Structure 1
Amino acid sequence: MNKEEIKKLDQEKIVGTYSRYDMVADHGKGAKCVSVDGKEYIDFTAGIGVNCLGFCDDGWVEAVTAQLKKLQHVSNLFYSEPQVKAADLLTKRTGLKKVFFGNSGAEANEAAIKTARKYGTTQRGVHVNKIISLANSFHGRTMATITATGQEKYHKFFTPFLEGFKYCEANNIEQLKSLVDDDTCAIMMEMVQGEGGVLDLDPDFVKAAEQLCHEHDLVFIVDEVQTGIGRTGKLFAYEYFDVTPDIVTFAKGIGGGLPIGGVLFGEKCCDVLKPGDHGTTYGGNPVACAGAVEVLTRIDDAFLKEVQKKSAYLKDKLQTLPHVTSVSGLGLMLGVSLEGKEAPDVVKKALEEGLMVLTAKDKVRLLPPLTITYDEIDQGVEILKKALS
């Protein structure tokens, strides 16, 4: 099928929940993607942070293909080696105790919410079920996670919402303290608000949240769906903030391109969920976990240091571009603030010129593969410069 045939059939047959860009992807390698009409693009999106090793990485393809030839699915009624290998790597790297595997970031955050509420009600009483999340946050699109999301635009049309969420302004320590009461079971936050505009939290605020959780026996939940698995130059972004969460949710980059998410539990919460409390048919799928094992094995300390170097290199380049006023974010999760240009217009123009980028609020958002080369960074920045000019 050619480009126009694919677009036409998409518009006729697929629900229009996405405002798609005018490109039909066909194949790719590393940080380069080729459309069905043969045009090559530099990819600064990584499938919204999913393709951490880029398109069709040789080691990743070999790992998932080998597993496909053995066992594609077995269900969680039985044990499987890829699942325990992935869990072992995650716990050893973080010092956290146990893992629950799901299929997406929203599903991971649902499991975290359920765990926090069970912990609160079993430890301190049935009324202890309120969760504080942050204004401008994003935690998913299910009914629980959309309620946890502190942005009104995601709430339109979908009332009534799940009860039991309160919102705190990011970095407002006094307001956070005032929201904690006898009914509070957890505080939930992203270290960098991705969909909220790639905004880093203040370290003092994060530390204060951890301290409140210790003082009041609350569950400290860190949503690392977008920031995790090397995206910020650490395995998880909370490592920059000198805190130890009780629960860490992850997804996106962990599978290298296959749908997988999950929850890491510390000592406080690792045995809260019992048989029958939670589950998912596809969670911990052997093929997705084989991809996760490859990703986690590859993202070692040397790899993470290189991500940090690429981040500094890319930030320096971006700050010289016309109309750029500042660059926020950590690692290869960056938000570019503009003056005199609208982010959606820049994204569209960049695509026309051969660069795939994203938006986050009024910023241009960059989430390139962690394996992107310096030459590919240079090529992408030159195209972005042209789009801004």
Structure 2
Amino acid sequence: MGRPDVGQAGSRPLVRGVDVPGLRSELCGWCSNGGPTARHPHRTHPFTQEFRVSQDQKAASAIRLIGSFALWSSPDIEPHGTVGASITVHAEKSAPLSVSLASGVHYRDAFDLAPWERSPGDGVLVHTLGKGEFEDRPLRVDSFEIDLGGTRQVEKVVFRDSGSSAAFVIFEAQALSNPASGCPFHSSSEGVSLAALGSSIRLRNVGALWRAISQLTAGLQKASDLDEARSESLLFVAVVAASALEIGGGRELHRVQLETARRLDRAQDLDEVVEITERTVHNILDPLMGQPFRPTDRQIRAALGFVDQNFGKDLSDDEVAHRVGLSTSHFRYLFRQATGRPFQQYLLARRLEQARRLLIETDIPVQDIGAELGFSSLASFSRAFARHYGTPPSALRDERRGQR
């Protein structure tokens, strides 16, 4: 889709000193209405920005915005849980898809330079790309990706600021296709990026990991020669190992990389490179993921990816089975074989894990957390949470407040 129409007000560089690979060091962008006070100059900015999709990009499976999400959204200015904006994707022959952006869930103060990584379960994946400077203040540059739940013929994307203090800066909007092949870290690939691969491991996002491995496998099998495949494999393994170290992997991972390099050097064909790479990745991640990481069917990989990106939505095993092309009964069997639990138990566990994180890390009201994650009432959310964690959500929130 390209860059937003920033008009005359955006003719000067909005952010300087950008250190993100693939982006210019000085970027113009669109900045929405916002500011810490009612008389702040940015309160004169527009609320809405529309991105039209060119004919050759209409078939898209995801939308990605690159920008800073968001200025002036720290908890002392804007309470956690505030809905600061919405994004609506309009596509041919399908209802509009809308996502509401909540402070502390989908975005965080951009002047906080700590890397921001979130997968809140509504089809959104957020991660930090790098840094820049805005009005002589350092700030984060983020990627904000929305999974469309399949390929859609996208016509336009509309961003609407809700009028809170948060101001959203957008440098670029991209309509992403679902590549049949290509490595996750290829600059030409629009699948799982190198940064998102590391984020997925740290977030233990099994679905995104399976998508990355599937992309890698397809890319290796289409490599022009063995040397190219070996190089891509080693880079992938290096990213996996480095991210695994951050979540508790042992120092033996350095030795694993050396042994993998030796085995790849002896590989005789592309199939052997693929086998070595997949086995190495499993050996690194299986002990760390906290759940079985070896689905036996590519369709279950796709199902896990969809569920792990959309667990906050109203999902059924019938719907997911249909999406991946399986009968419901066969899907239930394969899903349980892959995850060790029935579909609804897996879905509930993912929702409760997210609820616990939000209770600890944000001030979003308990009832709102339950509603956001698909529970029909506060009572049903509290019962499910207490059964899973041994304490009701309100008690966990009170305990956290007492520790401040």
TM-score normalised over the length of structure 2: 0.24
Which structure has the higher relative contact order (CA within 8 Å, separation 6+)? 1
